[in-house]
């Protein structure tokens, strides 16, 4: 397993490896695109849609946590900001989906900057505490500011999204919309990580002091990583809003942020696609043990402990991953 993943990431020069790589990519792509043709049960497509949401969230979080090394426990807040922005814009101001999606991402990013600027020089554990505080403040505001957010009842009857002539209504429609968003997330993050920005993020993660003396503006790059990662959370929130047609504060609790962290860690930090395996395992586990109600967090905890015991770097993370 490890060797396969390694040769996929490392640019293997031998021809057979290239052919195999194209083949594997092709099969995976076909399987993902064709899933709704094989699986007719919309319940399962619904689960896949939640995996898609978490994939977008975790790819963004992976930029913050995996590449830049900032432990943020407030990711659910940015997810929530995206959800509320879309809900409010579409229900009260007549926005169509695409502009609402974009504004949701941008506002989540701006809030990421607002939190990032004062915390840019705060070290590790304190940074983590501040992000928890931010997440809780967000949730409490969402719960208490009833005229604006609808309080605990949230915002209901979010209109059906439409992109040009495509009315997104069924589970399958949402599945493909989600895939487009995942594709966008993956592509844009891959470009970012391949640029000098990516280099700076990794340098900061590896050694903050050394990064500074190499001429990397560490506070600025931390704010960038944090706010860009939050942008994707905003997109995921926007998708959630139109997908569920309601938004309530309970979707954005601290437990959600923890779950995302667990997904990223179980999947493997720092690899672009590695968190997806964590998303799949954790989503399936949450679904499978739904009947156990609160106790399923216990099982999720056990899964994480077991994975970390046997693969401390996560399922698909490599100990010495390339940036």
Partner 1 sequence: MLKVDGIYTQYGKIKVLNNVSFEISAGEIIALIGANGAGKSTFLKTVSGLIRPTQGRVTFMDRDIQGVAPEKIVSAGIAHVPEGRHVFARQTVQTNLEIGAFIRSDAAEIKKDIERYYDIFPILGERRNQPAGTLSGGEQQMLAIARGLMARPRLLLLDEPSMGLAPFLVNEIFRIVGQLHEQGIAIVLVEQNVKKALKITQRAYVMELGQILYHGKSSDLIEDDRVRKSYLGET
Report the interface residues with partner 1, using CB under 8 A: 196, 199-200, 202-203, 206-207, 209-217, 319-323
- Closest contact distance (angstroms) between CB of 190 and partner 1 is 17
- Closest contact distance (angstroms) between CB of 10 and partner 1 is 10
Beta pairing partners, 163: 166
- Closest contact distance (angstroms) between CB of 147 and partner 1 is 44
- Closest contact distance (angstroms) between CB of 66 and partner 1 is 12
Quick one: 210 or 298, whose CB is closer to partner 1?
210
Quick one: 13 or 40, whose CB is closer to partner 1?
13
Quick one: 1 or 213, whose CB is closer to partner 1?
213
- Asked whether the beta carbons of 223 and 234 are under 8 A apart, the reply is no
Query: What's the rounded Cα separation, in Å, for the pair 160 and 323?
Result: 40
DSSP label at 34? H
- Closest contact distance (angstroms) between CB of 110 and partner 1 is 24
- Closest contact distance (angstroms) between CB of 145 and partner 1 is 39
CA dihedral 308, 309, 313, 317 (to 10 degrees): -80
Q: Which segments of the chain does DSSP mark as H helices, in order? A: 2-9, 15-38, 42-62, 75-92, 97-119, 124-144, 146-149, 171-194, 196-206, 208-213, 218-244, 254-267, 274-288, 296-310
Q: How many CB atoms lie within 10 A of CB 246?
A: 17
Quick one: 82 or 314, whose CB is closer to partner 1?
314
Query: Would you call 192 exposed, middle or buried from its count of C-beta atoms within 10 A (0-12, 13-18, 19+)?
Result: middle
Quick one: 67 or 138, whose CB is closer to partner 1?
67
Quick one: 136 or 208, whose CB is closer to partner 1?
208
């Amino acid at each position: 397993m490890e060797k396969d993943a390694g040769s996929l990431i490392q640019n293997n020069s031998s021809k057979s490896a290239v052919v195999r790589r194209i083949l594997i990519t092709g099969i995976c792509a076909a399987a993902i695109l064709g899933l709704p043709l094989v699986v007719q049960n919309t319940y399962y497509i619904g689960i896949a849609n939640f995996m898609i949401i978490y994939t977008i969230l975790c790819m963004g979080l992976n930029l913050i946590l995996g590449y830049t090394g900032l432990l943020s426990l407030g990711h659910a807040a940015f997810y929530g900001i995206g959800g509320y922005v879309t809900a409010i814009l579409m229900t009260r101001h007549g926005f169509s989906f695409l502009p609402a999606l974009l504004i949701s991402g941008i506002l989540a990013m701006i809030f990421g900057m607002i939190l990032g600027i004062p915390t840019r020089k705060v070290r590790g554990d304190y940074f983590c505490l501040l992000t928890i505080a931010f997440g809780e403040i967000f949730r409490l505001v969402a719960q208490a500011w009833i005229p604006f957010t609808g309080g605990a009842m949230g915002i209901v009857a979010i209109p059906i999204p439409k992109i040009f002539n495509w009315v997104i209504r069924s589970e399958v429609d949402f599945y493909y919309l989600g895939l487009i968003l995942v594709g966008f997330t993956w592509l844009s993050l891959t470009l970012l990580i391949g640029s000098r920005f990516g280099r700076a993020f990794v340098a900061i993660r590896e050694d903050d002091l050394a990064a500074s003396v190499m001429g990397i503006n560490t506070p600025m790059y931390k704010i960038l990583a944090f706010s860009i990662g939050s942008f994707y959370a905003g997109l995921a929130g926007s998708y959630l809003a139109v997908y569920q047609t309601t938004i309530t504060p309970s979707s954005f609790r601290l437990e959600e942020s923890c779950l995302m962290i667990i997904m990223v860690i179980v999947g493997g930090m720092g690899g672009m696609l590695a968190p997806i395996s964590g998303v799949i395992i954790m989503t399936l586990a949450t679904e499978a043990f739904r009947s156990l109600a609160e106790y399923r967090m216990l099982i999720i905890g056990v899964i994480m402990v077991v994975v970390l015991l046997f693969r401390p770097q996560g399922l698909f993370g490599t100990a010495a991953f390339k940036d």
